[in-house]
Amino acid sequence: MVELFRIDSTGKLHVVERYDFADETGDLETFLMANPRILGNLVVLGRQVQTGSKEGTIDMIALDTEGQGQVAIVELKNTHCDESVIPQILRYARWAKKNPDFIMSKATGKQEELQAKSVDLDKMDTTPRIILVAPSFDIELLRMSEDIAYDVDFLSINRYRAGNEVFVVTEVEEVEEPGVTISRSQEKWDWASYKAKRDMSDKKLEIGMAMEQAIDGMLAGKGWDLKKSFQKGQVAWKRGFFRVFWISLDYYAEKVVFAFKAKEKPTAADLGLVPDDIMKWAQDSWGVVIPSKDFNMSIFAPALEKAYEFITGR
């Protein structure tokens, strides 16, 4: 259980009282709609979506604008969440996968917003990702999620109040046991599986692996709270739901792209590149094509700093 304290100007410690969400729809859902960044880079397509008497009502259907736009099912709980939720989220995910036309119609209504975030609806990933939001989660639920054939993320959220000020503490929950990190993903990706499943060229893999090693080297000793994630078309360094920088393995047969977050396009002088080398990659994202494993990745050290500052607000 997280406890929040405030220290005043005299050094006195004050307990900040919990301000629990009263219910899932009227309070928690409304709060998240007013503060969407808590859920990551989602564009909500619909709330309280009626699927039919058998499947029930989905709290939120959204598109994750990171990558190519993956369907996201968001299920909210205002109390502790245990494994009894699994049949419910599986019904929702199955329904979403079987009804891409419904989701596309909802997405078309948000086309202007999605285009602004560089999402191409023709490339929408209709295999849903599930996001569970609750104050806390049963450890057995996190363990059992490894056997679910969909990506499942667990976002704990707790609200506090001190006078007129409201504070929210969130954390992306994961299970870590000695020698084992449970990864909740339908497909497990690494460099070997990129070769076997995606038939990527040896040259592309060599570039990608050299970039990964260089980035890890630049991060050594920084103490940043980032998690490296191997996904179908990218290797990303993430903070919670948010990518900070990543290696994109799609789009080019013999090259890869290094992409990073920044509000404004960095100058060519910042990175030692000619201006045309830096391209707009997505909303608040910039990319540079890497043609060779011998590319000097150290020039991106300032970009790593700026991307981390952008995501953390520091």
Domain borders along the chain are 4-181, 191-312
Q: Are 300 and 219 in contact (CB under 8 A)?
A: no
**Is it the case that residue 208 has pLDDT exceeding 70?**
yes
Predicted pLDDT at 110: 87
Quote the pTM value.
Answer: 0.73
pLDDT, tens only, 286-298: 999 999 999 999 9
According to the CATH classification, is domain 191-312 in 3.40.50? Answer: no
Name the residue among 184, 174, 78, 62 with its Cα closest to residue 124.
Answer: 62
Checking 115-119 for CB contacts under 8 A at 24+ apart, the result is 116/283, 117/41, 117/43, 117/65, 117/282, 117/283, 118/65, 118/280, 118/281, 118/282, 118/283, 118/285, 119/43, 119/63, 119/65, 119/68, 119/69
Neighbouring-strand partners of residue 108: none
Q: Per-residue pLDDT averaged across 240-266, rounded? A: 88
pLDDT, tens only, 62-120: 998 876 688 999 999 999 999 999 999 999 999 999 999 999 999 988 888 888 777 88
- In this prediction, residue 1 has a pLDDT band, given cuts at 50, 70 and 90, of low
Q: Are 236 and 41 in contact (CB under 8 A)?
A: no
Helix 191-198 × helix 202-219 angle, to 10°: 150
Predicted pLDDT at 260: 93
**Is it the case that residue 187 has pLDDT exceeding 70?**
no
**Mean pLDDT for all residues in the chain:** 87
Topology of the domain covering 4-181: Trna Endonuclease; Chain: A, domain 1 (3.40.1350)
- Is residue 15 packed enough to be buried (19+ CB in 10 Å), middle (13-18) or exposed (0-12)? exposed
What are the CA-CA distances from residue 117 to residues 68, 110, 198, 245, 303 (Å)? 10, 11, 26, 17, 21
Cα–Cα distance for residue pair 22/19, rounded to 1 Å: 9
Neighbouring-strand partners of residue 5: 15
Share of the chain above pLDDT 90, in %: 45
Q: Are 256 and 247 in contact (CB under 8 A)?
A: yes
**Is it the case that residue 183 has pLDDT exceeding 50?**
no
- In this prediction, residue 314 has a pLDDT band, given cuts at 50, 70 and 90, of low
Looking up tokens 């900070």, which residue turns up? 244
pLDDT, tens only, 13-30: 888 888 999 999 999 999
- In this prediction, residue 182 has a pLDDT band, given cuts at 50, 70 and 90, of very low
Helix, strand or coil for residue 154? strand
Predicted pLDDT at 28: 95
What is the chain's alpha carbon radius of gyration, rounded to the nearest angstrom? Answer: 21
Predicted pLDDT at 143: 87
**Is it the case that residue 177 has pLDDT exceeding 60?**
no
Helix 100-108 × helix 86-98 angle, to 10°: 80
**Is it the case that residue 176 has pLDDT exceeding 70?**
no
Predicted pLDDT at 243: 87
pLDDT, tens only, 34-72: 998 898 889 999 999 988 767 789 999 999 887 668 899
Name the residue among 155, 157, 159 with its Cα closest to residue 132.
Answer: 155
Q: Residues with Cβ < 8 Å from 2, sequence gap 6 or more? A: 158, 169
**Is it the case that residue 229 has pLDDT exceeding 90?**
no
Q: Are strands 4-7 and 13-18 parallel, antiparallel or unpaired?
A: antiparallel
Predicted pLDDT at 179: 40
